[in-house]
Amino acid sequence: MESQKQQDPLLSQLQERLSAVSYEQVLQDPNFETPHDAQFKVIIIGDSGVGKSCLMQRLTQSAFKSDHQITIGVEFGSFMLKLDSRTIIKLQIWDTAGQEQFRSITKLFYKNSHAAVVVYDVSKRDTFEDVGGWLEEIEDNRDQENMMVYLVGNRIDLGDDVRQVSYSEALRLQKEKRLDNLFETSAKTGLNVVELFVALTKHLYLNNKSKLDQFREKDEDLGMSQLQPQQDKYESNRGQSLMLKSNPSRAGNSKDKKKKKGGCC
Ligand SMILES: Nc1nc2c(ncn2[C@@H]2O[C@H](COP(=O)(O)OP(=O)(O)OP(=O)(O)O)[C@@H](O)[C@H]2O)c(=O)[nH]1
Ligand SMILES: [Mg+2]
């Protein structure tokens, strides 16, 4: 099975755009309490057993479990990227159950999601064939107009002998369905896992940057100094497409004090 990566011009262009957004570091957020400036909700979907929970575990704990502990309903995780001293972007990630019996629960989590990561297993053709069904599920349940979709082929550590879905085939699907990006990953070795979520964070940031800038301008013009209560981490983002949060850790200078108040644009 051919796995040779073709250079796709559009994906290469996107890669260049994303590379232009530099970042200082990935931040750990074990208690989901680290202050941040903007938050995006991301949902991980795909057939049972493709490695959704392992991808999340690799991302948030740098670990891998070899047994399949079926996700019941949903599990929550977070990922934070510090772009610069005034911009920390957080992904609120919902790892959903792939099993059909939990579909009525997982459907609820598309609400307010800014992005979906649709995972298939490169060594199981049926999981790739089911991607179309997952995309329909997104269409039926999303409420954000510009919800982004990343296609992810996991388990590439298994090698070409067992591969049943080539990269070029996945690329065709990504183009045909106009999906925002395509990655091949291994939750087992960690290959491309952080890269995938860094790219997604930067992409969400770029697509919403003008709103973030507008919010900051308004904030400074109004000179607001009241700290609004932080939204609960599980609270929905009130139907807004971008959730901006206060950042109490950076109350040092007057400019930052103004930024403390948080709120939504
Ligand atoms: N070789 C290999 N195995 C993987 C990889 N990712 C996951 N697995 C294995 O695949 C199985 C299923 O992984 P999970 O992450 O639990 O699958 P899931 O998609 O969350 O499944 P549900 O929760 O039922 O929807 C486990 O036995 C993992 O060890 C990978 O990148 N490479
Ligand atoms: Mg799972």
Distance 235 CA to ligand 1 centre (A): 29
- Distance between CA 265 and CA 252 in Å, rounded? 24
End-to-end CA distance of the chain: 48
Report the alpha-carbon distance of residue 17 to residue 14 in Å, rounded.
Answer: 5
| 153 three-state secondary structure | strand
Residue 238 Cα to ligand 2 middle (Å): 27
Q: Quick one: which ligand is closest to 154's CA?
A: 1
Q: Which residues surround ligand 2, an ion (CB under 5 A)?
A: 52-53, 71
With a 6 Å cutoff on the Cβ, whether 48 touches ligand 1 is: yes
Instruction: Pick the atom of ligand 1 nearest to 158's CA.
Output: 1
Find the helix or strand (DSSP H, E) in which 27 lies: strand 25-27
Asked whether 68 and 124 are in contact (CB, 8 A), the reply is: no
pTM of the model: 0.85
DSSP structural state of residue 97: P
Q: Which residues pair with 78 in a beta bridge?
A: 92
**145 in contact with ligand 1, CB cutoff 6 A:** no
Task: Give the DSSP letter of residue 50.
Answer: S
**Ligand with an atom nearest the CA of residue 122:** 1
| Distance between CA atoms of residues 262 and 11, nearest Å | 34
Name which residue sits closest to atom 11 of ligand 1, judged by CA: 68
Q: Residue-wise pLDDT tens for the chain (265 aa)?
A: 554 566 799 999 999 999 999 999 999 877 777 788 899 999 999 999 999 999 999 999 999 999 989 999 999 999 999 999 889 999 999 999 999 999 999 999 999 999 999 999 999 999 999 999 999 999 999 998 889 999 999 999 999 999 999 999 999 999 999 999 999 999 999 999 999 999 999 999 999 988 888 777 765 443 332 223 233 333 333 223 345 443 444 333 333 333 332 322 2
DSSP reduced 3-state for 72? coil
Cβ of 51 below 6 Å from ligand 1? yes
In the beta sheet, which residues pair with residue 119? 46, 152
Q: Which of 168, 141, 140, 175 is nearest to 153 (CA)?
A: 168
Query: Is the distance from the beta carbon of residue 52 to the nearest atom of ligand 1 less than 6 Å?
Result: yes
Question: Domain ranges in the chain?
Answer: 36-219
Q: Is 154 in the pocket of ligand 1 (CB under 6 A)?
A: yes
The CATH homologous superfamily to which domain 36-219 belongs is P-loop containing nucleotide triphosphate hydrolases (3.40.50.300)
Ligand in nearest proximity to the CA of 156: 1
Do residues 171 and 182 make contact, with C-beta atoms less than 8 angstroms apart? yes
Cα distance between residue 26 and residue 29, in whole Å: 10
Phi, psi of 55 (to 5 degrees): -65, -45
The 3-state DSSP class for residue 208 equals helix
